[in-house]
């Protein structure tokens, strides 16, 4: 466990040194603030535009906002936040290959699976902090300005998207053990996610695909129920474990340096 702890500390220092942790924290904090801010400013923006639109023959009725308006913004923005997160961490292993930093550590006895373990813990840990910070800010402002009680299954919906983020990071880690460049990792990850999204449009296969978790925002308005996501959750958990096991197996056989 000493090797794992030491490599984890190295990962933490690397995230701090490169500034990635601060950039991601700022981005997720801004998204968390922006969700209720946009909802709060919507009536003012509509009122500002109403006069000019009235001259064009368009009449705008009064806009009423509540916690649901803010939560809708949250689920629109979180997909963008996840993309940014994936972009920032796409080189989590490939950067090590290019710099050759793993060669010395592995030759000195660092066990390979601990590299994969530390990388997965670091990425999932950072995702956990960033995601729940964004969620907590939005939740707090919504509770202050309105009432979160108007939305159904708030915590469960948030968990679904959180799980999707973990699934994406484990997928990136697996692809990183197969490819040597961050651009290649991003391309394959993007194709896999898009293919999953397209496949979900046909038949009942969409019920089993992890990408379905991104639509968990529909739970808040009651248009979907938790039962609609259990299959996708089960597949996300099972495939996530498979991704990690395959990552270890592939990395053990990978020629580094």
Mean pLDDT over each residue of the chain, to the nearest integer: 90
Nearest Cα residue to 170 out of 215, 101, 117: 117
How many domains are there within the chain?
1
pLDDT category of residue 110 using cuts at 50, 70 and 90: confident
In this prediction, residue 178 carries a pLDDT of 92
In this prediction, residue 62 carries a pLDDT of 64
* pLDDT at position 63 over 80: no
Range of the domain at 137: 2-253
CB 168 within 8 A of CB 86: yes
Q: How many CA atoms does the CB half-sphere of 57 hold within 13 Å?
A: 0
CB 194 within 8 A of CB 45: no
CB 205 within 8 A of CB 132: no
* pLDDT at position 4 over 90: no
CB 60 within 8 A of CB 50: yes
Token pair recorded at residue 172: 């990136």
pLDDT one-digit tens code per residue, 163-204: 999 999 999 999 999 998 999 999 999 999 999 988 888 878
């Amino acid at each position: 466990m000493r090797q794992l702890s030491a490599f984890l500390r190295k990962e933490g220092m690397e995230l701090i040194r490169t500034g990635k942790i601060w950039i991601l924290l700022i981005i997720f904090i801004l998204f968390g603030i922006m969700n209720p801010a946009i909802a709060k400013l919507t009536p003012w923006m509509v009122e500002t535009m109403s006069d000019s639109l009235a001259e064009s023959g368009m009449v705008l009725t009064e806009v009423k906002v509540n916690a649901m308006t803010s939560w809708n913004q949250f689920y629109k923005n979180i997909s963008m936040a996840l993309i940014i997160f994936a972009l920032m961490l796409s080189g989590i292993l490939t950067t090590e290959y290019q710099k050759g930093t793993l060669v010395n550590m592995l030759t000195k006895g660092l066990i390979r699976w601990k590299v994969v373990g530390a990388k997965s813990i670091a990425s999932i840990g950072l995702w956990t902090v960033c995601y729940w910070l964004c969620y907590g800010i939005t939740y707090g402002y919504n509770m202050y300005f309105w009432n979160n009680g108007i939305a159904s299954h708030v915590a469960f919906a948030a968990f679904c998207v959180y799980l999707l983020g973990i699934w994406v990071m484990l997928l990136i880690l697996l692809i990183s053990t197969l490819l040597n460049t961050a651009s290649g990792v991003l391309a394959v990850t993007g194709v896999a996610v898009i293919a999953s999204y397209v496949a979900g449009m046909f038949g009942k296969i969409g019920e089993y695909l992890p990408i379905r978790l991104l639509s968990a925002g529909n739970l808040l308005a009651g248009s979907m129920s938790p039962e609609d996501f259990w299959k996708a959750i089960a597949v996300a958990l099972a495939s996530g474990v498979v991704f990690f096991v395959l990552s270890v197996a592939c990395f053990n056989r990978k020629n580094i340096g």
